Each structure stands twice: as C-alpha cells, then as structure tokens.
Amino acid sequence: MALSKKFFGVTACFLIITLVLYTQLEFSNDNYGPKLNPSERGHWGPLIGVGLVPVAAAVLPHSSQVLLWSADQGDVFQGKSSDPDTTLTALYDIKTNKVMAPMLSNLQHGMFCPGMSMDFNGTLMVTGGKTAARTSRYSDVSRVWASGINLTAGRGYHSQTTLSDGNTFTIGGSWSGGIGGDNADMKDGELFDVKKNEWLKLPGCKVEAMLTDGDAFESDNHAWLFAWKNSSVFQAGPSRAMNWFDTNGAGKIVSAGPRASDDNAMNGNAVMYEQGKILTLGGAPHYSLSQATDAVHLITLGTTYALPEVETLQQMHYQRVYANSVVLPTGDVFVSGGVSYAMQWQEKNATYVPELWSPQSRKFTKLARMNISRSYHSFAVLLPDATVLTGGGGLCYIECEDDTVNHMDLQIFTPPYLFKRNGRGLAIRPKIVFADASVAVGRRVLITTDVMVKDISMVRFGTATHSINTDQRRIALNPTLLSDSGVVRGWTYEVWVPDDAGVALPGYWMLFAVDDEGVPSVGHTVHIVL
C-alpha cells in the first residue's frame, strides 16, 4: 500500500512537471507555438537574403517592388568616417520573391536614419539622415533616384508626413545636423511647398512641446505624426504630451493634452487603424537603457485642434520597444519584434512572439513565434497580397559586439485570415474582378467581386524605418450592393471615399474586399486624387 501511494505520488509529480514544462513550451516568449494551427496563429515563411540590413523600406505602388536601404555599408555604420555621399540600396520583387543585388546610390546623400514619406504621386521623398540637409526622391515609374531641394535645417531621426494639401511636413531630428538647443537651433517644423518647390521654416511649429525626457539629441526623435484635415498634423507621441500642428502660414501649435497616464514612449508604435482612430503601443521612457512598456492606448480624433478622446486599453502580452506594427485590411493590428529593455543592437531581451490586436474585442492574440529577432533597425510593412513583410535589425555603430545581431534578410508573415479554419491549406480568397484605378476625394468607387463580400477597406502604401510609418493608414468603407448577377458577372458594389483629403490622404492605396469569413482579397491599387 505504501508502495502504491509512493508510486502514485511520483506519477502525479511527474504529470505536474510535464504540464508545467508543456505550458512553458507552448506559452513562453522563447518557445511559443511550435505546432500551432496557422488559421489561429499564422505562419512564417523562409528567410530571404538581401545582402544588407534593411533599416528602411518603402512599398512601391507601380512596380510591385519594395525599396530597401541601409547606410553606405550593408552591415555597419561607421559614424563620422562613413561616406556621406552614398547609400546601399536593394529592391525586393514581390511577384518573383527575388532581391535585386544591392547597389550604391551616389546622390551626395547618406540616407541612413532619415525622414521619409510618399507623396500624392507615389514618389518617395527621403530627407536628412547621415547627410543631414540633403533630400532625395525615388520614382518607381522611372526607377531612378533624383536629388531634391535641401532642408532648411539638418535632421536625422526625424519624422515627416505628406499633408492633405500635397505639401510635406517634418519636425525634430537632433541625431544629425547638430543638437537642437545645444550647438544648433531647435529643430522646429518646416514645410516642403510643392508649388514653390522649396522648404520653408515654420517658426510657429515649436518642437519644444513634443520633447521627451531623454538626452538632448534623442528627445526630439521619431514623432508619431498623422496628417489630418485642413493641412493639420496630429502628433500622438512618443512624448506623453500630444499636440496639433497647424502648417498654414508661419505655423502654429495647439496642445492636445496628455496621452492619458502614459509615460514618454520613445520608439513605440502608433497606427491609424480606422479613420480618426489611432492605436499606440509600447515604447520606453528613454531611447536606450530603459525598461519597455506594454501600454496600449486608443486615441480618437474629433474636431481639428480639439482635445482628442484617449482610452487606456488592455496591455499587450509583452513589453516592447523598437517593435513594428502594421494595420491589416480587416482593421486588426499586427505587432512584431522589439525588446523588453531598450538597448540598441542587443537581442538578449528580444520578444519573439508577435501579437494581433482586434478592434472588436480590443484584446491581443499571440501568434506564431518568429525564429529570429527583429528589433532596432528593423521594419514591417503590409504587402498588396495582405501578407506582412518584415526585415532587418542590427547595423551597429562602428562595430558589432556580436555579428549575429545583423539580420540581412526578409521574412513574410501570412496572417491567420489567409488559412482555412482547419489549418489545412490556404483559404479561398475573394477576387476583385474590376475596380476603378483612380478616384477623387469624396467620389464613388465601383468594385466588382467574384463572390459576395462583407467589408471593403483601403490601406495606404507604407514606408517604414525606426518603428515609424507615417504613410500607412486604413479607411473602412461602407459597401452598397448594386447588382448580384451571380458567378457569371460577379457582384458589383459602390463605396464612397471620405470627402476630406485629411482622412483619405491622396496618393496610392490598396483596396481590399473581405468576405464574411474575414478573408481578404489581394489588394487592388487605387490612386486617390484631389
């Protein structure tokens, strides 16, 4: 009897230990999701070698390519001794899944750590960085770089955004071109005037209002900028103080209050997942040597220059800084990478498990584990086929202590919505048979699909670097069924583009049709014009 009790006691102990180990295997940050249903957790594809650490990326609307670049070298930034005239670039072809060999672009512009945005015509504008006052433009129609007009102030680590009137706004950036308020003027806002073809100072757009508590050269970096109505810009972070910038005339700043009880959140994320609704995620009080946060807030914009509504939401599963976030056609937000403690070029605190935020439940779901880390100097962008392209991480200053932090590769994440519910194969996707290629703000778009769909949305083509993507935003459209001729001719819907260019920011967008199972079509490129 004593032997039986001992046996059962040992057996019970073994089962408990096994259960604990299984739980750790399934749900720890290091090992989550070895054999999970892809319809619940998604799926990571193989690594795609690039030949450089892709610190920056831009999804090009005309050529089905993604433009990638690093510094003058592909695996390290040599600081003052780096070449200020060249940048190593590469092109990833979405259709062929191949990368064109990296090449040096010699424009007298070192485009490392720049500001960037996509204009109304789909042309990429890159400003500052290593060569602080220079600007360059890339058109994927001509597939060539061209030198642009110099900034009025040298900048690096700054943010910029295309405005509702077609001009471009930028602010901050003391990493390069002098430290604002120290050995250079404060990095107040400036405006690229399309009609005048020049950069103009905006002395009324003071950068002081958005400074964090970090060191002088880090406190004005990576602003979370959102172009909005009447040439305004909403700054959601990373400072705890939010602001409106009026870019008309000499410029003006209007306080938008604090981001609830949130701290400064440098190198966090902010995503407009629906018109006027901004999700903010993570970050850290300081650029480096600082504990990351798992904080999440929802900012709802109302009248321009008025105080927005700010809600504190349920936290992420993990603390993240240097992470990346991408809005999907469904309005869900994909969050990947980052570290739990802000240290550049270190991976010992890496977060390997991505999360998916649902606007319906307002909760996060853990996804399939990444097999490599993506943190500082990484990116993530939405592709037209509704998958997510991630890449980069590393590219150390002077020399890497550990070369394994350099990730000279890309990887595609296929979200759960593209799989059959049983996980056995890909879901059948709705197809957009026809849709208008161009539409004016406030006008109608006609869309014909091969099956009935439930939702239609648009996501703007994105550009990303240093956890910032000021181009991406999503608009949820309200489809009206006009005809249902069946499988022979398809189903035709009409949707109306919002009648404000601050909401439907002109430029190139991906139009998606989503069925009642939540499966999106491949995106159809639409050019929104004024």
Residues catalogued as catalytic: 376
Torsion of CA 447, 450, 453, 455, to 10 degrees: -40
CB-CB contact of 381 with 391 (8 Å)? no
CB-CB contact of 480 with 488 (8 Å)? no
CB-CB contact of 180 with 207 (8 Å)? yes
Single-letter residue type at 237: G
Handedness of CA 360, 366, 370, 375 (dihedral sign): positive
Q: CA 374 to CA 352: how far, in whole Å?
A: 8
Q: Which two tokens stand for residue 107?
A: 């424009």
Handedness of CA 14, 17, 18, 19 (dihedral sign): positive
Exposure string over 467-489, b if 16+ CB within 10 A, otherwise e:
bbbbbbbbbbbebeeeeeeeeee
3-state SS, residue 303: coil
CB-CB contact of 520 with 513 (8 Å)? yes
Q: CA 172 to CA 149: how far, in whole Å?
A: 18
CB-CB contact of 172 with 223 (8 Å)? yes
Q: CA 159 to CA 278: how far, in whole Å?
A: 17
3-state SS, residue 39: helix
Report the chain's C-alpha Rg in angstroms: 23
Q: CA 139 to CA 508: how far, in whole Å?
A: 13
Nearest Cα to Cα of residue 223 among 187, 247, 257, 262: 187
Q: CA 344 to CA 162: how far, in whole Å?
A: 29
Q: CA 305 to CA 245: how far, in whole Å?
A: 8
Please report where in the chains the tokens 């979370």 appear, as a residue.
224
Question: Any residues with CB less than 8 A from the CB of 36 and at least 6 apart, and which?
Answer: 368
